Structure 1
């Protein structure tokens, strides 16, 4: 069996075995906040924090908790080049991030809004006449991957290949099958690189209005990025750009059906409620965690942490910390501070794609709400039959819902 020493296995820390528990880890989060808010996992030599203030400190304080790390829970094969915003800290990280940030400015996103709207219109129009739709397969998966493909300047007809590669790259490792999964990831990464490389070469010769073209012209430390550095940046954006947004859109509909049934009618009556729903879903139903490496010996959280150890901030738990969010276990879109969740991270590594993900989610919801008068669960729905293993534990691979046309 290939060594797993550089890969942290989250489910071995939580010990959550069943699909149901991995889909809903929130009872375990609560137990850890109350009984083990700072928890050392001796098997993997990993510290874990579950409270809001602790998680925020880990994310913000790069001098104490560095993103330069030898081990990680990120399941994507590690490739470090000058354009990689992972595994780096300020000031180096700031230069790398600036290369990609121009694509996600408010002005850039404003230009993209009508294009995203047109894609959402087409996907929702295709549902016309159906009484049952699979919101994951028909909206949550295709919308983000089409958008990020267009944003990058990659042929949108290749979206199924892109999605397949992304799924493999983000699939979590397991100890028993580590070698097989690592081989699959290496193969997917190689195919992805070979697919993008000629596209990048063409962009360098004939730039267009897209991110890959911008990256071929970008300047880092007085030099242009190599073609392979542009390729690797593209893979990072294509993968991350659809994974989180697919989960957000899927979870929005799940929350409207099961976390607060009936709230769909509020969305129809008041469009200003939609961004609030998006933020509450991000707070309430995202079991996400981020790792850092302890950069120096510290007792900042009351325990002796040694330089070189890994620490995990469980943001999905921090987002339900009662000291930050009153009645945190209740789904409430009118919570005054729900946008202070940590799902997109915090500090220098705050997710670059967060504004795009929010825009896509709001457009997807508003477009759907205009077309359909109501939604209901299908009879006999069992969530465990619709889950697939993902980097965060379990996520929805399908969500059939009954719809009524407006």
Structure 2
């Protein structure tokens, strides 16, 4: 794979090739923080930073590290349009972001809270009276995709198809399957587009109380968004709106059973700790990375980075930086300041959907711990049998757990 390719192949940088290593890259993160905190990958002409302060600088300083980039880790097909908040910097970015931001204001989310509770309750009711459930397939996947489909105004009955397209769009690229993955993503994008276009046209004629309707009415630079721009924005929100939250909810249960056995009982006795657990999972068990283009020659991290090169901020490594988080390799829901993690980004490109993801995760776990007395690993559980390729590593495709009714 030549460095000129638009796509940066993350596993070619880390050299983590096995499922086990990609699921648990944290030893490699630690090694890089300690021994190679600013690392140049000559094969792809990519700089990599692993320390918290470095990663935060990359995400915040758009004068030095621009989001206007030709090459990226982002595995979704690039579709630039006036409503796309990716690949631009302030001030242009500010106007585009404002179009989408009002859907995720605290006031709007507050209005959605009862509906999220209802969806969670319906999913949990299906688990009652059972000894084991697959928490990924029965909670972590259906909750976010149902919520984001309803928020946008797409029919909930289509959530399985929406999830399938989203999964394909977020599949990582690899050297040996590159052209196949490109073709598969293009097909998913085409089908997703053909699905949403008539829905958008209908919303323009008969607006409802949802995000797609709001986008058909929104103006940018004095002009309405056209149908194409609304469709592409909808695809972006539907995709991003379920991938991260599914991973968060899945990882919350994994952390309670593997990273910190016994913490579930703490939550049972004090549900106010649920948001603390959510933040610690986001800090501790999220192998995230974000990229920027070097906007001007700089030696801000020591070595000379040249204008036009790419720099990857390994957020999952930064989140365990001992200089920022004492005993960063330990899972501790009582850690002060654990919400300072960079999993949702930082600066102007901070994730718009972060408040929604947090709300869904907190509601889901609070309702769950109220209903079930305890959870446990199923016998002979091997995590590698339950993994699937995801944006920059592996994520849980399934996770069977034991339930103790209560």
With normalisation by structure 2, the TM-score equals 0.99
Q: Which residue of 1 aligns with 2:161?
A: 161
CA RMSD between the two structures = 1.0
The reply to whether residue 386 of structure 1 matches residue 386 of structure 2 is yes
Q: Is the 8 A contact 1:2 1:178 kept in 2?
A: no
Q: Is the 8 A contact 2:2 2:44 kept in 1?
A: no
Q: Which residue of 1 aligns with 2:240?
A: 240
Q: Which residue of 1 aligns with 2:288?
A: 288
Distance in structure 1 (CA, Å) of the matches to 2:252 and 2:242: 15
Distance in structure 2 (CA, Å) of the matches to 1:123 and 1:110: 21
Q: Which residue of 1 aligns with 2:324?
A: 324
- Please report how far the alpha carbon of residue 300 of structure 1 lies from its aligned counterpart in structure 2 after TM superposition: 0.5
Distance in structure 2 (CA, Å) of the matches to 1:219 and 1:269: 49
**Pairing of 1:23-62 with structure 2 (within 5 A):** 23-62=23-62
Q: Which residue of 2 aligns with 1:270?
A: 270
Q: Is the 8 A contact 2:3 2:44 kept in 1?
A: no
Which string of whole-angstrom CA distances, capped at 9 and with x for unpartnered residues, describes residues 49-106 of structure 1? 0000000000000000000001001000000000000000000000000000000000
Aligned residues: 406
The reply to whether residue 80 of structure 1 matches residue 80 of structure 2 is yes
- Please report how far the alpha carbon of residue 2 of structure 1 lies from its aligned counterpart in structure 2 after TM superposition: 11
Q: Which residue of 2 aligns with 1:302?
A: 302
- Please report how far the alpha carbon of residue 392 of structure 1 lies from its aligned counterpart in structure 2 after TM superposition: 2.2
Distance in structure 2 (CA, Å) of the matches to 1:129 and 1:232: 42
Distance in structure 2 (CA, Å) of the matches to 1:272 and 1:346: 26
Q: Is the 8 A contact 2:165 2:189 kept in 1?
A: yes
Q: Is the 8 A contact 1:4 1:178 kept in 2?
A: no
The reply to whether residue 216 of structure 1 matches residue 216 of structure 2 is yes
Which string of whole-angstrom CA distances, capped at 9 and with x for unpartnered residues, describes residues 189-219 of structure 1? 0000000000000000000000000000001
Distance in structure 2 (CA, Å) of the matches to 1:382 and 1:4: 39
SS in 2 for 1:133: strand
- Please report how far the alpha carbon of residue 4 of structure 1 lies from its aligned counterpart in structure 2 after TM superposition: 7.2
Q: Which residue of 1 aligns with 2:174?
A: 174
Distance in structure 2 (CA, Å) of the matches to 1:4 and 1:155: 40
Structure 1 ranges of 4+ moved more than 4 A: 1-4
**Pairing of 1:243-262 with structure 2 (within 5 A):** 243-262=243-262
Distance in structure 1 (CA, Å) of the matches to 2:84 and 2:282: 25
Distance in structure 1 (CA, Å) of the matches to 2:390 and 2:361: 20
SS in 1 for 2:48: strand
With normalisation by structure 1, the TM-score equals 0.99
- Please report how far the alpha carbon of residue 129 of structure 1 lies from its aligned counterpart in structure 2 after TM superposition: 1.3
- Please report how far the alpha carbon of residue 371 of structure 1 lies from its aligned counterpart in structure 2 after TM superposition: 1.2
Structure 1: give runs of 5+ residues left out of the alignment.
Answer: none
Distance in structure 1 (CA, Å) of the matches to 2:28 and 2:3: 29
- Please report how far the alpha carbon of residue 367 of structure 1 lies from its aligned counterpart in structure 2 after TM superposition: 1.1
- Please report how far the alpha carbon of residue 161 of structure 1 lies from its aligned counterpart in structure 2 after TM superposition: 0.4
The reply to whether residue 228 of structure 1 matches residue 198 of structure 2 is no
Q: Is the 8 A contact 2:283 2:342 kept in 1?
A: yes
Structure 2: give runs of 5+ residues left out of the alignment.
Answer: none
SS in 2 for 1:39: strand
Inter-CA distance 64–4: structure 2 relative to 1 (3 Å threshold):
closer
The reply to whether residue 129 of structure 1 matches residue 122 of structure 2 is no
Distance in structure 1 (CA, Å) of the matches to 2:396 and 2:350: 25
**Pairing of 1:62-141 with structure 2 (within 5 A):** 62-141=62-141
